[in-house]
Structure 1
Amino acid sequence: MERYSPILQLIALFLLPYLLSHNLANTTIDLNTDEFSLLAFKTHITNDSSHTTLGKNWTTKTSVCHWVGVTCGSRHHRVIALDISHMSLEGTIPPHIGNLSFLVYLNITGNLFHGDLPNELAHLRRLRVVDFSNNSFAGELPRTWLGNMTDGLEEMHLNFNSFNGIIIL
């Protein structure tokens, strides 16, 4: 059996636990950022007529990865999908949604969301599918958002809202 030098053993003894704990700590911090962003989103919901969806499920008592409508990736354990479609939710979209940096899929169709879409959506560079249809959004689409999304965005559904202005890609 091959023996390792004492220096390598010391490095393994001290460095390996540090690297493992540092990596786990970063994952926890990042998941806390996702949780904070979704809880901020929840505070912008003014009416949850189902009364069971977000109000009872989106709490700090359970991991964000177990919340209704939330999917976390297996590799980074970050929020990769948010599907709260057809839940009779009413409110606005806060800028905090832009902190969900691993988000690939966002579907809020068939609710009563209104107001403008936040410019912070431009931070979601991994986003591939967006469905904001069948809501009451108004105003112009953020140009910074559309400009940053054209490379990776595969689907964008905006129909049955009250957007105005010109879309230039």
Structure 2
Amino acid sequence: MTELAEIYLGNLAENATLSERIEKARQSEGFLEVDITEVDSRKGRIYARSNSGIDVGIVKSRDWLLREGDVLETAQGKLVLIHLRSQKVLVITFSEKISNFPIKLIHLGHVLGNHHWPIIVQDNKIYVELITDAEVVESTIRDFHIPGLQLEYELRSPHEHLSFSQHSEHHHHS
């Protein structure tokens, strides 16, 4: 049977009484922990399997993101603690002056946008969220043959997650 969680209670980092409720729930089988991806954290409907093997369906509004430490309550009164998995991102850097080939760069940006691959530009690096197969993204970028373009992967912990969503606001509004 799938547990359905629709009631948002808050975040452990911001609510001390939730920690006490979690501790009590841990001792009484009324507690579930789920690991989800950054991509899933945005969805309105999330299907996950708890660490104890119980299926959990999470239903929420799409206008806010689930965060590490968020707590929801199921229809049966069980508490669900959310953990975000580490996030693998593709990082594009350039070893040469990129002003030498603006047309190729504009074309690259156009193609990334056409594929709807979320990007963030930060500190002269382009971070690409891997919402599709990494090899596909990598070969698409390499096809541009931009001199000095370098690709590497970074693993970001849940506390260093890049928020690629157009909804950077992740607080729940009731």
TM-score over 0.5 for the alignment?
A: no
TM-score scaled by length of structure 1: 0.27
Higher RCO, 1 or 2 (CA under 8 Å, sep at least 6)?
A: 2
